[in-house]
Amino acid sequence: FKIVTASAGLENGLITPETIINCERGSFNPYGHRIRDHHAMAEAPFWECFTQSSNIAMIKVAAMLGPEKMENWIVRFGFGQKATKDIVHESKGLFRPIKDWSRLTMGSLPIGQEIAVNIVQLARAFSAIANGGSLVEPYLVERVMDRDGVVVQQHELKAPEQIMSPKTAETMRELCYQVVAKGTGKRANIPRSEE
């Protein structure tokens, strides 16, 4: 879920990959609840904070954004709403509007707590980064044809929604790659084919 916070910070010009963030040596209590990082860091560039999945760095970026922008970016990524009409019983997930946030929310939401999402929503969010910043509607069946090859049902493609600039999406792709190349996601790194 940290991709939402990071994308918002980058797109709004609040941070760059080289922005130095004080990660408080792995322990921080900004809103009356102690937040810890698995990899304790002091001051580090944002790219390293992201690579090491720093909760503290994400909370600090969210504080720069403020609650209204944080809420806007969560909605912009499609959370709190169905991702596709193809799955009839898809859950919208759980996302409370800003009026229902507590004093702890800005220390939880930026790192993916106080929200529940489904796998389709999550895949859609990551695909926006892969698609150059375009959020697309996922679908299961493009068309249905009868025995004679006549199309009896056709999925109507919605125009993609540009939720971030291609430059921000490119930066996010590189940051996400560094997570699996050097950071906390090394076990998810898929070796590249030499073909």
**Cα(180)–Cα(139) distance, rounded to whole angstroms?**
28
Digit-coded pLDDT (tens) for 146-163: 999 999 998 888 889 999
Determine contact, residues 46/17, Cβ cutoff 8 Å: yes
pLDDT, position 87: 83
Determine contact, residues 6/50, Cβ cutoff 8 Å: yes
- 10 Å Cβ neighbour count for 51? 23
Query: Could you tell me the pLDDT band of residue 193, with boundaries at 50, 70 and 90?
Result: low
| Residue 113 pLDDT exceeds 70 | yes
Query: Could you tell me the pLDDT band of residue 195, with boundaries at 50, 70 and 90?
Result: low
Average pLDDT of the segment spanning 81-89: 86
Digit-coded pLDDT (tens) for 27-74: 999 998 899 999 999 999 999 999 999 999 999 999 999 999 999 999
Average pLDDT of the segment spanning 130-156: 92
Candidates 19, 67, 2, 58; CA nearest to 35 is 58
Average pLDDT of the segment spanning 157-184: 94
- 10 Å Cβ neighbour count for 15? 24
| Residue 188 pLDDT exceeds 90 | no
Structure tokens at 4: 């939402």
Q: Please, what is the average pLDDT of the chain?
A: 93
- Residue 183's Cβ-side half-sphere holds a number of Cα atoms within 13 Å equal to 20
| Residue 194 pLDDT exceeds 90 | no
This prediction has a pTM of: 0.89
Output DSSP code: residue 26.
G
User: Angle between the 55-65 and 67-76 helix axes, to the nearest 10 degrees?
Assistant: 110
Candidates 79, 70, 68; CA nearest to 115 is 79
| Residue 84 pLDDT exceeds 80 | yes
Average pLDDT of the segment spanning 136-148: 91
pLDDT, position 157: 82
